[in-house]
Amino acid sequence: MHKPALLLICGLAAVCRLSIAGEGDDQPGQWDAVHAKYIIHSGSATYAEPPTKSDRALTVLIDGNAAKEVFDLIGPDAHPQCSPDNRDRERRRKGVECTYTAQLNDPKDSHYRCWIGINLRTGDGDVRVAC
């Protein structure tokens, strides 16, 4: 291999290592990537109907580390409304509802989930998820 090509590969590897190492840093003011799902609907997000002129909302679902971070920040716990398992936990604030599920059905699932809801007519926080 030519020396310039080897130097280029080594330099790119070093840059990649630095950028990967910086991804998990908790620096204030930094944006973090999140995997999310969303739905625009009327009624409940659980039993969604198409949005109407008089009723339309945006619900965003996040899970994993992002949901855990939000869950930790919006405490304290509220009484769980949807789970018979006393190890499960819920936390709610206007426009945000998070859950911690102790027993997972699938190992690929996350213990933490958060729903962020916005009424698109008023701009108010409006979580519309049912059990």
The residue range of the domain holding 77 is 35-131
Residue 6 domain flag: no
Residue 23 domain flag: no
pLDDT digits (tens, 9 = 90+) for 4-33: 333 333 333 333 333 344 455 567 789 999
CA atoms within 13 A on the CB side of 65: 7
Residue 28 domain flag: no
pLDDT score recorded for residue 80: 78
By the 10 Å C-beta count (0-12 exposed, 13-18 middle, 19+ buried), 3 is classed as exposed
Residue 18 domain flag: no
Residue 79 domain flag: yes
Strand, helix or coil for residue 49:
strand
Residue 103 domain flag: yes
As for how many domains the chain has, the answer is 1
pLDDT digits (tens, 9 = 90+) for 71-130: 999 989 998 788 888 899 999 999 999 999 999 988 888 999 999 999 999 999 999 998
pLDDT score recorded for residue 81: 81
d(CA 103, CA 80): 15
Residue 97 DSSP class: E
d(CA 97, CA 113): 8
pTM: predicted TM-score of the whole model, two decimal places: 0.74
